[in-house]
Structure 1
């Protein structure tokens, strides 16, 4: 029984809201005015409004309000009781339509985000094509090590099996790396690739400017703090 009632309410909303949304899309400013009109209607105790009060509250011309009332009358949501007075006669409360307006606004915002993301994806796909498949670029599919690691420090670690590597949360001016091994010594080599260097070689960590400190260890352990 409740399911049948829900489907009936949903059908009524779909029927009336399609007319309202078409009306709002045709004139955005009038659509916003219609929502304000429904707000006023929702806050009346008897669901009735005087046209003169509406034009004053909305600070708009009477003809603009008539544009709204004519549409609502046409889809049997509003009834004219006198020359200036209208009453809500919809089978659903005004709040149902205001809620749908809100959902439609969210859908429009999501559609805008979706269109923006689609545009970015298309742009990235084109850039990727230009880099990989374009005939002018296909003859030069090479990137040098210097460009890849420009102004970075590369470290190579040679350690026995089951060596543990831990990286604590970085500080403002430094990054620490903890290495712990139980089965033998740890060897670390480093290579700093500068912006103007054409080639670099690996050197022992002790010969670089990187600080090295042993960690407290048990017998037979090889631990270091880089």
Structure 2
């Protein structure tokens, strides 16, 4: 049973969310390097294309912001970007000092989707990418596109409705990858063989992917692995 205090906290939280339209006059901040709009309520509006004009941007966080529609390809113009978070999970979590995350609130979520990802080729400096809960079901080029991210270290594509995975890639560039999350995508029955070439992987999450046994012994090639979730 929810207490009156919980109701007050939730009401205050909802009042704190930014909504409405983003004004292009923000472009006057021409030296902007860090842009964080996470945990807001933009009512399903499309991510403004003008964001791609912040040429000095290094950090862009649009997670749980209530954006909807197609992710603009123009984000591929942010050639200096090293951090991009588009996670569309509607749940708000709080990280506690004991290391456990607690679910707190829901915010409205909208259909945020991508039709293709070839614009990744314009992001040579990207080290962190989170597109969790973004619909990638029609992005059949997703594997080839992430393979065009030479600097990527942390890749999170959980619950993205990814199309059926190819078990191999013609050439693997993901040799610096340390964290890979492809969970909740039903990509089975076999593990993708290109994962085994990412020898620097420290964390690998493939749970809820309908994988078949036996698991390939090539998993033993991941000698730096500290966390494995199957």
TM-score, with structure 1 as normaliser: 0.18
Q: Which has the larger radius of gyration?
A: 1
Q: TM-score, normalised by structure 2?
A: 0.18
Question: Between Structure 1 and Structure 2, which shows a larger proportion of helix residues?
Answer: 1
